[in-house]
């Protein structure tokens, strides 16, 4: 049976993911609460980078709330769903691998961290995916699918089964988010083409 902190982290995390699919700014408030709880749980479970990552998520939630709330950002196109070119994704993948390989050998020495290479890679990819979400980049959902799958393994290895369930649900929501945002992107793209004629 999960602790109260696990149950609350899951509840607020589900709220975050569902509101993010709908592009509702309150997603970030739910995300901040969930992340604060997950930071504590990860720290207690020997996943120091996951704990640090969740702490960074709290700060990114403030940024995300501001980005999705600011009317001037909408006018400037910040909240318009956009796509990244393949070259940017390739560069991102190389950067994630390089940073993860740099951090991984340090983790077992500096902490009692479990699964250092995977922990480091998930941390790097999660930070990138969160930033992509705040900037309304369509492919953020594809990154989340990978991150959520890896996170299920990481937290499962530590016996945090409610958190594993949360990440399994995140995985399903990421698939829904990908389809929903992709449909919105296509509608906007079609509208732009019609306006250009």
**Are 107 and 36 spatial neighbours (Cβ–Cβ below 8 Å)?**
no
* Mean per-residue pLDDT over the chain, rounded: 85
Most distant pair of Cα atoms in the chain: their distance? 61
CB 115 within 8 A of CB 157: yes
Measured between alpha carbons, how far is 148 from 143 in angstroms, rounded to an integer? Answer: 9
Query: Whose CA is closest to 53, among 119, 100, 5, 101?
Result: 119
Among 75-89, 153-167, 177-191, the least confident range: 75-89
Q: Which of 21-25, 114-118, 141-145 has the highest mean pLDDT?
A: 141-145
> What's the confidence (pLDDT) of residue 191?
80
- The fraction of the chain above a pLDDT of 90, given in percent, is 39
Question: What is the extent of the structural domain holding 188?
Answer: 4-196
Query: Within 10 Å of residue 28's Cβ, how many Cβ atoms?
Result: 26
CA pair distance 183, 20, nearest whole angstrom: 15
How many angstroms separate the CA atoms of 83 and 60, rounded?
A: 21
SS3 139: coil
Average pLDDT rounded to a whole number, residues 57-86 = 77
Residues present in the chain in total: 197
| The predicted structure's pLDDT at residue 73 | 47
Distance CA 118, CA 113 (A): 11
The pTM (predicted TM-score) of the whole model is 0.77
pLDDT of residue 72: 46
Share of residues in the chain with pLDDT > 70 (%): 89
Mean pLDDT calculated for residue range 82-105: 92
Q: Which DSSP letter does residue 76 get? A: T
Residue in 52, 45, 37, 48 with CA at minimum distance from that of residue 166: 37
pLDDT of 98-138, one tens digit each?
Answer: 998 888 777 665 555 567 788 889 889 988 998 899 888 99
**What are the Cα distances from residue 120, in Å, to 58, 64, 66, 174?**
18, 23, 28, 21
What's the structural domain count of the chain?
1
């Amino acid at each position: 049976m999960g602790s109260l902190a696990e149950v609350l982290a899951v509840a607020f995390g589900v709220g975050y993911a569902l509101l993010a699919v709908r592009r509702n700014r309150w997603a970030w408030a739910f995300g901040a609460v969930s992340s604060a709880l997950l930071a504590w749980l990860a720290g207690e479970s020997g996943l120091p980078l996951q704990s640090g990552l969740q702490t960074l998520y709290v700060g990114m939630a403030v940024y995300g709330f501001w980005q999705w709330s600011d009317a001037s950002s909408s006018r400037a196109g910040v909240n318009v769903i956009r796509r990244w070119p393949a070259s940017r994704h390739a560069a991102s993948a190389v950067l994630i691998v390089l940073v993860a390989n740099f951090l991984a050998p340090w983790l077992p020495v500096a902490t009692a961290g479990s699964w250092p290479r995977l922990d480091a890679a998930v941390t790097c990819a999660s930070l990138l995916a969160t930033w992509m979400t705040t900037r309304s980049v369509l492919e953020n959902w594809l990154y989340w699918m990978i991150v959520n799958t890896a996170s299920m393994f990481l937290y499962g290895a530590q016996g945090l089964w409610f958190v594993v369930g949360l990440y399994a649900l995140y995985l399903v929501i990421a698939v829904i988010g990908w389809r929903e945002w992709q449909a919105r992107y296509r509608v906007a793209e079609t509208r732009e083409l019609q306006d250009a004629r």
